[in-house]
Amino acid sequence: MAFDPSTVRGEFPILDQAVNGRPLVYLDNAATTQKPRAVLDASRNYYQRINANIHRGTHLLARAATESHEAARATVARHLNAAEPAEVIFTSGTTDSINLVASILSLAPGDEVLITTLEHHSNIVPWQMLCERSGAVLKVVPCLDDGTLDQAAFGNLLSDKTRITAFGWVSNAFGTGNPVLQMTAAAKAAGSLVLIDAAQAAPHMVIDVQALGADFLAYSGHKVYAPTGIGVLWGKRDVLDALPPWRGGGEMIKEVSFEKTTYNDLPFKYEAGTPNIEGAIALAAALEFVDGLGLESIAAHEQALIQRAADGLSSLPGTRLYGPADRIGALSFAVEGVHHYDLGTLIDQMGVAVRTGHHCCQPLMARFGITGTTRASFALYNTAEEVDALVLAVEKAVAMLR
């Protein structure tokens, strides 16, 4: 049975509003998703009923908060099919997770880091910083004209010098889905560690980290209907155990003296200080919400919306779509002679919220000789009628701008 967004739209209070006198059409989900009542209630319940610091207190609220926080970790582990909850590290988001890994790796001059042209800045800059510190060399997999990666070049760039290979599962700019199983297997065969940026994959597909074979996987809660400021770094236990801590402070220690500090076990080794307790609990609520609906059904619904949008927009004169035909989550386009900022501003006046600009992918935009695109991105609560409203708004805006 096809997924029906009308059955869940009522769970998202923010959607029930008007923008400039028109019903809100929210199509900026790749930037951040809206939150269902289950998530809002989880956040509110924490602060109203069990607000306390965790792991250290013996009083009732401290115990309740600790139990809820660690139950959230177990929920994330189940959602990812992690081998154990201790492999789940709570961070502030994908950017924080990638920076953590880039900061604890020790590379030497001549070592190589391999990334791709499709990457978000958060999967570029931390590796540049690592290379600057260590003398390692950054290598980049090129992108083909259809917005997919050059897999032959990827294979050729892998070598016995590749220490870490980092790539996104789904491009936030073009919606390109990468063959992560094959890429991971090739990188591991070359002796490289592998990090997968799953920020744009997490809302749209089932993730099984044990089947993927990667060493690290990162994603952000706010992309998958949870609050901002909470994210996940999953890592294989043996890999994380062998690497040093990142930040120092409370919780990541077992014993401290002025002479020596003994570090804590996973996951606390990488969770210095008071964590985002409410965020972790709300993230678990979000994952339970989407798991209850079924990610496969959600993905099929979103794919139908993207195809409808692609068909409608491509029928407009002078419109170019970027990325492959089988996009995931997002659709980027440009209209000849119309600046993306102007287009986004005008369709916002018609109640349609999209993203304009380089989408934190400036190297990718440079590859295609553009400064940015207009991007519509989709979530489980979007409807076919909203897609039609997008196409009509673009058509009207272009007529006004030309």
The conformational region for residue 273 under phi > 0 = left, psi -120 to 50 = alpha, else beta, is left
Burial of 108 (0-12, 13-18, 19+ CB in 10 A): exposed
Which residues sit opposite 322 in a β-bridge?
Answer: 332
Helices (H), 135-179: 151-157
Amino acid of residue 94? T
Annotate 197-228 with b (16+ C-beta within 10 A) or e (fewer).
bbbbbbbbbebebeebebbbbbbbbbbbbbbe
d(CA 235, CA 294): 25
d(CA 391, CA 209): 37
Residues 6 or more apart in contact with residue 395 via CB below 8 angstroms: 316
d(CA 106, CA 124): 17
For residue 349, the number of C-alpha atoms closer than 13 Å in the C-beta half-sphere is: 9
DSSP strand pairing (22-23 vs 25-26): unpaired
d(CA 213, CA 329): 24
> Is 360 an active-site residue?
yes
Burial of 242 (0-12, 13-18, 19+ CB in 10 A): exposed
Asked whether the beta carbons of 116 and 252 are under 8 A apart, the reply is no
Selected catalytic residue, list 131, 143, 360, 361 = 360
DSSP strand pairing (216-220 vs 231-235): antiparallel
d(CA 207, CA 201): 8
Asked whether the beta carbons of 201 and 80 are under 8 A apart, the reply is no
Q: Which residues are catalytic?
A: 360
